Amino acid sequence: MDKPNTNSHLDALNAALRRALDGDLSCRIGVPDSRHQAAITIDLFNDLISKLSTSVDEVGAQQRKFKDLHIRLQNSEIRYRALVEASTDAILISDHDTGAFLDANRTACQLFGYRPSDLRRMSFDDLFTDPASPEIQNLKGELKRDGLGVGQVSLNRQGGQPFLGEIRVMIYGPPGRELRAATVRDLTERVEREQEIQNSYDAVQETQTELERSEEKYRTLVEAAGDAIVILDKSTARIAEANGAACQLLGHNVQELRKLTIEDFYLEPDLGEPDEFLTEAVGAGRAWKPNVQMRRANGSSFWAEVRTGDFITNEGTRSIGVIRDVTWRIEREQEVADSYRQLEETQAKLVQASKLSAMGELGAGIAHELNQPITIIQGFAQRVRRDESGRVEEHIDELDIIVDETVRMARIVDNIRTFARQSDYRPEPTNPITPVENALLLLHAQLRVRGIQIIRDVSENLPQINADTARMQQVFLNLIVNARDALSELPAGTARQIRVAIRAEDDHVLYEIEDNGPGISPALEQRIFEPFFTSKPPGEGTGLGLSIAYGIIQDHGGDIRLERPQTTGARFVVSLPVLQGNPEPLFEGTPL
């Protein structure tokens, strides 16, 4: 047998080892037939390589399993971190033995005002407002006993600002490496909400108490009220409640009133008005009827003022009605109306008496005014009569004069008749000059005989006024007569003048009657418009002239005042509103 080539086998073994060291475990060395020492070595090498290959496969499988576990652990860590960071509660992880914080979520940093690096150098004792407080001691006791502690404690934010927080602490982890996980919830807002709820509850309780007091006060006031008060159910219009005054006024007790409506108390002739009243009350929620005739249970009637108003209760909308007996007021108002009517009648009689008095006083002057045209007519008529020729055309001038004087007489008579006639107040569109012109016409003879000069100052384009011509004529007649009488006090030879001015000013026509007499003393100025007041000697004046003038001007919506001229005398200014609407063309100023 040939001796085996030992060197070649060793070279093959060396090459296989190198390949195995390079990671190739698939190589094998053929085993020689001879059981030479090299063969044994190669056989052991092959067995080792086979076992090593199996171990490498197992290690690879373990590596793949470890990698999968590592990925799952990373995903779990991500989910844990996401949940912790998304929590609205502060979450802090601390060492169980030292108490030092190891981790904290974003909410914890925001709640306490620290950065994560700052918190890792702190513990809960640094955050407690008072670590020795009973609440903290109870929390630590529960944690030590049960591994879980829950409580409401006072904590501090950075800067020392305290707040109330709810804390939950638990211990977890293997023995010797225990950790503490704590959640902290800021209770400030919840406490505020609870306080608001408590305040609201207290307010409701207080309101309820006040409501009970108010209801008691309301019942007391309603029962003590002198007016009849009834509560109406709007759905049925029936009376639901009534006070004692209502029972007394209407003549029914409460049980009887609950079967009736307020309409049952109106008199038959007035049923239409209550329907309108109730319609207004339903539509607007309130109504007022000042004068309603109602009846009592015994059939007697009375005048009432009724007011209603809605209010809302737990039982629905109701109306409160207040009924006041105003019979006495209605009777007094009727008495006042009767008295006022009598006063108007008396005033009319006084005005008429004043007119007649003026007519009596003006009688001589009027007779002279009429006598003058009569004399002229008589003279010219006689001349025409003496003419035996019978030719009328030769006397045309005389006949024209007779006609003019006749017109003058008719005008005087018509003026007297209009002035003296008793009539109601009847204003109409009027030429503002006419009342003054008529007054001067009646006084013309007297003024001329007394040597009184009339100075006229009348503007052009005067607007119409709405006036009763006869009554305003009486006003100016009284004013001119007063001026005439004042001028009689002047010494003989003194010029006597009455200035009559008419002008438009804004929306009024102003009249000025001014004399150059001695004037009115300041002591009498405040009383000159009083009825029956006169500065004339007894028997020479009624004291009604200016009072009547004042009343007539007031009826016309005007005003009268006394002014003191710069020199002497007195000036009365009458202001009358111009005619509103579409007046006739303006009047040009004409000589009075």
Inside any domain, residue 246 = yes
Inside any domain, residue 402 = no
Residue 465's CATH number = 3.30.565.10
Q: What is the Cα–Cα distance from 28 to 99, expressed in whole angstroms?
A: 62
Sheet arrangement for strand 316-325: 238-242, 228-233, 316-325, 301-313, 286-295
Q: Are residues 128 and 238 in the same domain?
A: no
The pLDDT of residue 157 is: 92
Tokens of 242: 């009534």
The pLDDT of residue 24 is: 67
Q: Are residues 592 and 508 in the same domain?
A: yes
Q: What is the Cα–Cα distance from 413 to 410, expressed in whole angstroms?
A: 5
Q: Are residues 456 and 572 in the same domain?
A: yes
Contact (CB, 8 A) for 337 and 245: no
Domain boundary among 308, 325, 342: 325
User: What's the maximum distance between 2 C-alpha atoms anywhere in the chain?
Assistant: 223
Cα angle 111, 115, 116 (rounded to 5 degrees) comes to 100
Inside any domain, residue 33 = no
Q: What share of the chain is helix, strand, coil (3-state, %, to 5)?
A: 50, 25, 25
Q: What is the Cα–Cα distance from 179 to 97, expressed in whole angstroms?
A: 8
The pLDDT of residue 471 is: 84
Contact (CB, 8 A) for 227 and 242: no
The pLDDT of residue 226 is: 80
Instruction: Give which of 507, 514, 512 is closest to 462, Cα–Cα.
Output: 507
Inside any domain, residue 439 = yes
Q: What is the Cα–Cα distance from 183 to 167, expressed in whole angstroms?
A: 6
Classify strands 148-156 and 162-172 as parallel, antiparallel or unpaired.
antiparallel
Inside any domain, residue 206 = no
Q: Are residues 93 and 237 in the same domain?
A: no
- Residue 47 Cα to chain centre, angstroms: 110
Q: Are residues 180 and 229 in the same domain?
A: no
Contact (CB, 8 A) for 319 and 234: yes
Residue 124's CATH number = 3.30.450.20
Q: Are residues 174 and 273 in the same domain?
A: no
Torsion angle (degrees, nearest 10) of CA 461, 466, 467, 469: 50
Q: What is the Cα–Cα distance from 314 to 47, expressed in whole angstroms?
A: 102
286 has which bridge partners? 309
The DSSP symbol for 263 reads G
Contact (CB, 8 A) for 141 and 57: no
Range of the domain at 491: 422-592
Kindly give the residue spans of alpha helices, DSSP state H, lying in 251-326.
254-257, 272-284
Q: Are residues 167 and 241 in the same domain?
A: no
**Which sign does the torsion angle of CA 189, 190, 192, 197 carry?**
positive
Q: What is the Cα–Cα distance from 363 to 361, expressed in whole angstroms?
A: 6
Contact (CB, 8 A) for 362 and 446: yes
Burial class (CB in 10 A: 0-12, 13-18, 19+), 582: exposed
Instruction: Give the number of other CB atoms < 10 A from CB of residue 180.
Output: 23
End-to-end CA distance of the chain: 188
Domain boundary among 293, 325, 357: 325
Number of domains in the chain: 3
Q: Are residues 158 and 247 in the same domain?
A: no
Torsion angle (degrees, nearest 10) of CA 131, 136, 137, 141: -130
Domain boundary among 305, 325, 345: 325
The pLDDT of residue 576 is: 95
The pLDDT of residue 262 is: 79
Inside any domain, residue 68 = no
Q: What is the Cα–Cα distance from 370 to 9, expressed in whole angstroms?
A: 187
Q: Are residues 181 and 229 in the same domain?
A: no
Mean pLDDT for back-to-back runs of 10 residues, the chain (592 residues)? 54 69 65 58 68 71 75 71 78 89 90 91 90 90 89 91 92 87 89 88 86 77 81 82 88 89 72 48 60 87 85 74 87 84 68 58 57 67 66 66 69 61 74 90 83 92 90 87 88 89 93 91 78 62 72 89 86 92 54 52
SS (H, E, C) 17-41: HHHHHCCCCCCCCCCCCCCCHHHHH
Contact (CB, 8 A) for 362 and 442: yes
Inside any domain, residue 201 = no
Q: Are residues 475 and 591 in the same domain?
A: yes
Q: What is the Cα–Cα distance from 26 to 19, expressed in whole angstroms?
A: 9
Kindly give the residue spans of alpha helices, DSSP state H, lying in 147-271.
188-224, 244-250, 254-257
**Which sign does the torsion angle of CA 344, 350, 354, 360 carry?**
positive
Q: Are residues 465 and 541 in the same domain?
A: yes
Phi, psi of 374 (to 5 degrees): -65, -45
Inside any domain, residue 383 = no
- CA distances from residue 528 to 347, 350, 513, 535, 542 in whole angstroms, order as listed: 18, 17, 16, 9, 12
Q: Are residues 239 and 179 in the same domain?
A: no
The pLDDT of residue 13 is: 65
Contact (CB, 8 A) for 250 and 257: yes
